[in-house]
Amino acid sequence: MPSFSYDGVEIAYLDEGEGEPIVLVHGFASNKEINWVDPGWVNALTAAGRRAIALDNRGHGASTKLYDPAAYHSAIMAEDVHALIDHLRLPRADIMGYSMGARITAFLALSHPDRVRSAVLGGLGIRLVEGVGLPNTIANALEAPSLADVSDPTAYLFRAFADQTKSDLRALAACLRGSRQTLSREEIARIRMPVLVAVGGADPIAGSPQELAALIPGARALTIPGRDHMLAVGDRVFKAAALEFLTNRPLN
């Protein structure tokens, strides 16, 4: 598995296929395999003639684990993605993020707009602006002695997921506490590349995709029918809409 070092952090990534590059940024407590390989995204993108690149965010997968919440600010994690683009010597790339990865993608679009060809924000709607998405109770659940000690339903779901992926629970708790930044409406309005916002219709975490898309000039919104925050990731409707968006995105 290839990796590179940036700012003292080892970042693992995969790089498959040929064609126009798209960088995939996974969600909280996930990793590049669970978020992008297992649900079929890498296969779908490479079959469509794209070069699919996916990283393990710091604190996740095979990348370095850190335990200071300050190390997980969304702007810092966006710089990891920018460093990967530099490492691969890409002039720019399409970026697709899910949940926390969508938040990171939005921060990257603001800080390095010249490197972001277009952006797909999955699993994150107006909570990018209003509220912070995942509740802090999840961090407490990650630090609980066991899954049986977690009573909050949402926190239970994420602790079970983290246990399933054999994640570093302490690193994830630090990540959640450190990466819950919002963007103002004025900042969102400065995102000028083509954007697709996609959220499951039964997702109680992300907030409205239509409300967020309305703040981004020219952005499109997609409600993924009947899907919650977890199941929307690999949905066929989401894949078809994202591939159509990437094929037909306007020049900027």
Helix/strand/coil for 117: strand
Q: What is the pLDDT of residues 186-199, one digit of tens each?
A: 999 999 999 999 99
For residue 134, the model assigns a pLDDT of 79
Rounded mean pLDDT of 171-192?
Answer: 96
For residue 19, the model assigns a pLDDT of 95
Q: What is the pLDDT of residues 57-109, one digit of tens each?
A: 999 999 999 999 999 999 999 999 999 999 999 999 999 999 999 999 999 99
For residue 251, the model assigns a pLDDT of 61
Query: Which residues, in sequence order, are CB contacts of 105 under 8 Å at separation 6+?
Result: 25, 78, 81, 95, 96, 97, 116, 119, 120, 121
Q: What is the pLDDT of residues 205-222, one digit of tens each?
A: 999 999 999 999 999 999
Q: What is the pLDDT of residues 113-165, one digit of tens each?
A: 999 999 999 999 999 999 876 788 999 999 999 999 999 998 999 999 999 98
Cα 169 from Cα 143, distance rounded (Å): 7
With 90 as the cut, is the pLDDT of residue 181 above it? yes
What topology does CATH give the domain 3-128+181-248? Rossmann fold (3.40.50)
Q: Where are the domains of the chain?
A: 3-128+181-248
* Residue keyed to tokens 């460093």: 83
For residue 233, the model assigns a pLDDT of 96
Rounded mean pLDDT of 9-24?
Answer: 97
**Which residues are paired to 222 by β-bridges?**
198
* Residue keyed to tokens 């983290």: 162
With 60 as the cut, is the pLDDT of residue 252 above it? no
With 90 as the cut, is the pLDDT of residue 1 above it? no
Cα 108 from Cα 214, distance rounded (Å): 19
Whether 219 and 243 have beta carbons less than 8 Å apart is answered as no
